Structure 1
Amino acid sequence: MNYITIVGGDEREIALGSMLEAAKYPVRYAGFEAFPRPVNNTAAPLKESLSLSLVVILPLTGIDSNGKINAPYARESLKIESRDFGGIKAGTLFIAGRISDAIKKRLRHERALIYETGEWDDLALLNAVPTAEGAIQAAMEKSKITLHASKCLVAGFGRCGKLLSQKLKGLGAVVTVAARNNTALAEAETWGLETLPLEQLTTYVHEYDFIFNTIPALVLKKEILNKVKPMVTIIDIASKPGGVDAGYARKYGLNYHHLLGLPGKVAPVTAGKILFTVYQPLIVKQYRALEPGWEAK
């Protein structure tokens, strides 16, 4: 049988697998030995699992240059070794957020198909919803004041920044958007938001009760953190390494939190449904091409 094998990931991948199973796809899991409820986790070596797969789905964090895969429910560190590539069938579809160049080169040598979805607009836009809600949930839990009537700074006005600003405003917060791009600042102003050129952050950062960073580059440096309110809550949702000088923030006891993978943590079923929506057309195409007579259920 040609399986869909889900290798690593968190609860959103489990939710995705359940939806694929409900659609009558043959699904196996690798790296979920410690998941709290039973799943069709394979105990087979990864090489064997890959050899039986028509589709391999990996986390949005993907595979790093050492072959390591994020697998919080695996009993041991999960990684693809050189020996695992030999069994991959030509045409096997690999779907991951990102894959290192070295691993991609090896997969292409085995004539695998590769889709890196980490920067796909549809996936990023849909994931912005649980990300924004998760950031707001964390801010409520980590602070001793309400968001309502508070002064919130949102650094960045991309997919997450826009949705987060909108939701904060809906909760009654006074929201300021900080960005470098004049077009982004102009758009934020048309949404009824306050705006601040990013280069002026040092001058005004002391005014804010909450700071949300969405920019994946160092924005809140030591000289800026020196001027924040003592009771400020800082939520960084940017991808690694984030946009906050984490070492300095922790050293001086700031209420700082770098939150990664929020969709899978705060809304795993919704996050799994998003993956299903985006990935299923790729999977249908794969099965129609390589499984004669197959039709989606």
Structure 2
Amino acid sequence: MLTGLHIAVIGGDARQLEVIRKLTDLDAKLSLIGFDQLDHGFTGASKEQIDEVDFTEIDAIILPVAGTNSEGEVDTIFSNEKVVLTNELMSKTPEHCTIYSGISNNYLDGLVDSTNRKLVKLFERDDVAIYNSIPTVEGTIMMVIQHTEMTIHSSNVVVLGMGRVGLSVARSFAALGANVRVGARKSEHLARIFEMGMKPFQLSDLEQEVQDIDVCINTVPHQIVTASVISKMPPHTLIIDLASKPGGTDFRYAEKRGIKALLAPGLPGIVAPKTAGQIVANVLTQLLKEDVLDRKGNA
């Protein structure tokens, strides 16, 4: 149980509703900021404006997956209120106050450094990333079906990157009968690709590997699908970029060449917000029990 914890949930999309539901079930006291247009009510949770919250009593702050923008503004789907997380607000929180976000940026990193607060980036955790790869794969399959005129079975698919998402994507497309090639840099990743029955190749050979493909799925978070690479692709190729914004594809050149290229970060929140929210909620509640309750008790 999370009895005795006062948590501020600031902004977010439908995934946050599952987080709120789980936290209220565990008896946490919640201040919901950026939810004034939400019809649903939660016992033990109150909708408040950010200037109405007493941050001296806040034990934890839960931000959306994207955290803040470069000016500290938090995205609020369920409100028109402009919500900005400032140094002044953070300085009011108790020393044990912990901030949870999916990812971070220079603003958020600077904020926690200047106020000496702890920041937990959930999407850097292996467990969250692996769980999230499940709806990511399903969403990717959906997009390929929607935007191509052929079956996945027997199509030529290139997956770039052999991280937690790339591994799940490659295995799933292979299971559907696609001819899957996977580009990676590390020798151990190339060996694992071979062991799984797929064709490995060095990312440095990407231009040679895309000349007969139907689908290119990128998970590498820097520009790797360059104009030079795109110029070697057949005109019907579909590019799906799963890397975080701005992705790893030269979208301008793809459009110029007439190749459909789709940036699709955050697929779990789009195709399966309930499941994606439950994934975050389950990990969050465990972290709150292990970390914040102990730190508060020792404060």
Q: TM-score range by the shorter chain?
A: 0.7 to 0.9
Letter paired with 2:19: L
- Find the counterpart in structure 1 of residue 65 from structure 2: 60
Q: Give aligned-pair identity as a percent.
A: 27
- Find the counterpart in structure 1 of residue 212 from structure 2: 207
- Find the counterpart in structure 1 of residue 80 from structure 2: 75
Give the conservation status (yes or no) of the 8 Å contact 2:30–2:46.
no
- Find the counterpart in structure 1 of residue 140 from structure 2: 135
- Find the counterpart in structure 1 of residue 265 from structure 2: 260
> Which of 13, 16, 24 lines up with 1:10 in the alignment?
13
- Which structure 2 residue ranges, 5 or more long, are not aligned? none
Alpha-carbon spacing, 1:170–1:21, altered in 2? closer, same or farther (3 Å) = same
27-36 or 185-194, larger mean C-alpha shift: 27-36
Give per-residue Cα distances to partners, 1:81-106, cap 9 Å, x unaligned. 34433432332121113344554454
- Confirm whether residue 26 of structure 1 aligns to residue 29 of structure 2: yes
Report deviation, 1:186. 1.6
- Confirm whether residue 170 of structure 1 aligns to residue 183 of structure 2: no
213-222 or 280-289, larger mean C-alpha shift: 280-289
Superposition map of 1:116-135 within 5 A: 116-135=121-140
Q: Structure 1 segments of 4 or more deviating over 6 A? A: none
Give me the whole-angstrom Cα distance separating, in 2, the residues matched to 1:82 and 1:155. Answer: 39
Letter paired with 2:194: E
Give per-residue Cα distances to partners, 1:197-236, cap 9 Å, x unaligned. 2222212312111110111111111111112121111110
Give me the whole-angstrom Cα distance separating, in 1, the residues matched to 2:222 and 2:109. Answer: 26
Report deviation, 1:35. 4.4
103-112 or 147-156, larger mean C-alpha shift: 103-112
- Find the counterpart in structure 1 of residue 103 from structure 2: 98
Letter paired with 1:270: T
Give per-residue Cα distances to partners, 1:100-130, cap 9 Å, x unaligned. 4554454455453332333112221221111
- Which structure 1 residue ranges, 5 or more long, are not aligned? 293-297
3-state SS, counterpart of residue 62 of structure 1:
coil
Give the conservation status (yes or no) of the 8 Å contact 2:58–2:97.
yes
Alpha-carbon spacing, 1:106–1:230, altered in 2? closer, same or farther (3 Å) = closer
Give me the whole-angstrom Cα distance separating, in 2, the residues matched to 1:241 and 1:46. Answer: 33
Alpha-carbon spacing, 1:117–1:227, altered in 2? closer, same or farther (3 Å) = same
Alpha-carbon spacing, 1:165–1:104, altered in 2? closer, same or farther (3 Å) = closer
Report deviation, 1:284. 1.5
Letter paired with 1:13: Q
3-state SS, counterpart of residue 166 of structure 2:
helix
- Confirm whether residue 231 of structure 1 aligns to residue 236 of structure 2: yes
Number of corresponding residues:
292
Give me the whole-angstrom Cα distance separating, in 2, the residues matched to 1:6 and 1:70. Answer: 12
- Find the counterpart in structure 2 of residue 196 from structure 1: 201
Report deviation, 1:166. 0.8
> Which of 255, 272, 275 lines up with 1:250 in the alignment?
255
Give the conservation status (yes or no) of the 8 Å contact 2:67–2:104.
yes
Give the conservation status (yes or no) of the 8 Å contact 1:42–1:49.
no
Give me the whole-angstrom Cα distance separating, in 1, the residues matched to 2:96 and 2:52. Answer: 16
Give the conservation status (yes or no) of the 8 Å contact 2:73–2:84.
yes
> TM-score when scaled to structure 2?
0.87
> Which of 276, 280, 291 lines up with 1:275 in the alignment?
280
- Find the counterpart in structure 1 of residue 293 from structure 2: 287
- Find the counterpart in structure 2 of residue 295 from structure 1: none
Give the conservation status (yes or no) of the 8 Å contact 1:4–1:25.
yes
246-255 or 45-54, larger mean C-alpha shift: 45-54
Letter paired with 1:215: V
Give the conservation status (yes or no) of the 8 Å contact 1:179–1:198.
yes
What is the Cα-based RMSD across aligned positions, in Å?
2.4
> TM-score when scaled to structure 1?
0.88
Give me the whole-angstrom Cα distance separating, in 2, the residues matched to 1:235 and 1:54. Answer: 40
